[in-house]
Structure 1
């Protein structure tokens, strides 16, 4: 992992921690998961993981319960997950994941952010072949033998596992989200974050100056109320 990767990762984590609208975004993820798979966490792995992610960010239980209840309310009926494609400077490809009840508002805001920060929106689906949808989990560090754990998770859909002192990162095909989530729980792993993410099929490197320029665009995108996540091809 190069300096640019560490810079990007540290900057992204700092933004995530400091986002003033973090709880509403986590709440939307919970509501959408409950809408899609039901409000019982025991029967809905995506909801169970969304709740675990929220708890890892110290989201109060009352907020979590309220987000689940909203799945059955009229206000949640129109909330949809919509992806927008774009590009930034220096060949950076960007997929923006949104949760919105007003796509007209959202697309106008996203387009404006791109245009004002050195980027450009692309037609939807333009980057489909540049990224792969994956089930990605970030867990507390694993104290046991990782080789044995890897063997135990392969049958559940594990494709890649990265272990460090800070976390255990698990990656599998997006269709294996439920089986991987269950397998992690069966092996007593503590999930800090879990979601379906877009991972780049190939990456590019940026120097510190280029990265700083890109951060301005990414910050604006992530600050938007409707944006849930931003994915890039930066290593």
Structure 2
């Protein structure tokens, strides 16, 4: 499932937070959720998840509140969620998820980034069978948490796999279990939960470190684009 890549990604997200590169992307998700389902997190599950994820990335409360208010502004942008699939250097596969108010601009930018960095965009649907859509729940590992009890409880809510690492715990389930898994973690009082829907390769590939560095140049360029929310790959 690309565990090593996820570990690198976690470190990258931490750096993004320090540089405030991640906050505008998180804010866009919050605005979209508030516009679609209302500005009250308690009655809007998608907004509550977006806010919790932003808090888990140490996004300031003031930024979160501004993102919610933007949803009700008279000139609030209408964002669409769009995805692009592509191949990178050395045959790496990439799935790019975006949120945009101008799909023409976004597709042009994504294609340009691929072309300039040894890759190419392929027809949507080409990689459907290469990636599984999963609910991924992440929280900090703590001596106060009974992980065996948590695992047994979450099995009833769609847990497929639990990955315990040095400092964090990752919960995997089918994307249809996203809401149940998130709520179950909340009901158990687990703090700092980050819940996302991810595209995870069902056939991860090994690459050399030199190849990975070249692939990550493309990934970094994609993630620098304001419209790009997430990039998933088949790096093992």
Question: Could you tell me the TM-score, scaled by structure 2's length?
Answer: 0.91
User: 1:30-87: CA deviations, max 9, x gaps?
Assistant: 1122233332211223221211111122211111011112223344452111101001
Which residue matches 1:18? 15
In 1, Cα distance between equivalents of 2:100 and 2:91:
28
Counterpart in the other structure of 2:100: 100
- 1:79-124 Cα shifts (integer Å, max 9, x gaps): 1111010011222110001110000000000000000000000111
Counterpart of 2:201 in structure 1 is 200
Deviation at 1:201, TM superposition (A): 1.3
Higher mean alpha-carbon deviation, 182-191 vs 44-53, is at 44-53
Q: Deviation at 1:190? A: 1.8
Per-residue CA deviations over 1:11-39 (Å, capped at 9, x if unaligned) read: 42343233342110010111122233332
1:45–1:182 contact (8 Å) kept in structure 2: no
Task: State the match for 1:129 in structure 2.
Answer: 129
Q: In structure 2, what is the Cα distance between the partners aligned to 1:114 and 1:140? A: 35
Measured in 1, the distance between the counterparts of 2:102 and 2:139 equals 34
Shift of 1:226: 0.5
**Pairing of 1:141-160 with structure 2 (within 5 A):** 141-143=141-143, 144-160=145-161
SS of the aligned residue for 1:43 comes to coil
1:9, 1:160 → 2: CA distance?
Answer: 15
5+ long unaligned stretches in structure 2: none
The question of whether the paired residues in 1 share the 8 Å contact of 2:185 and 2:193 is answered with no
User: In structure 1, how many angstroms separate the alpha carbons of the residues matched to 2:3 and 2:170?
Assistant: 16
Which residue is 2:68 aligned to? 68
Structure 1 outlier segments of 4+, above 6 Å? none
What secondary structure does 1:42 align onto?
coil
In the superposition, relative to structure 1, how do residues 13 and 164 fare at CA in structure 2: closer, same or farther (>3 Å)? closer
TM-superposition CA deviations, 1:155-195 (whole Å, max 9, x none): 21111111123111111111211111110011111234211
Moved more, 39-48 or 164-173: 39-48
CA contact (8 A) 2:89 2:215 kept: yes
**Unaligned stretches of 5+ residues in structure 1:** none
Structure-2 separation of matches of 1:198 and 1:75 = 33
Describe the SS at the equivalent of 1:16. helix
Give the corresponding residue for 2:50: 50
**CA–CA distance in structure 2, aligned partners of residues 194 and 209 of structure 1:** 32
Residues 15 and 219 of structure 1 are in contact (CA less than 8 Å); yes or no, is this contact kept in structure 2?
no
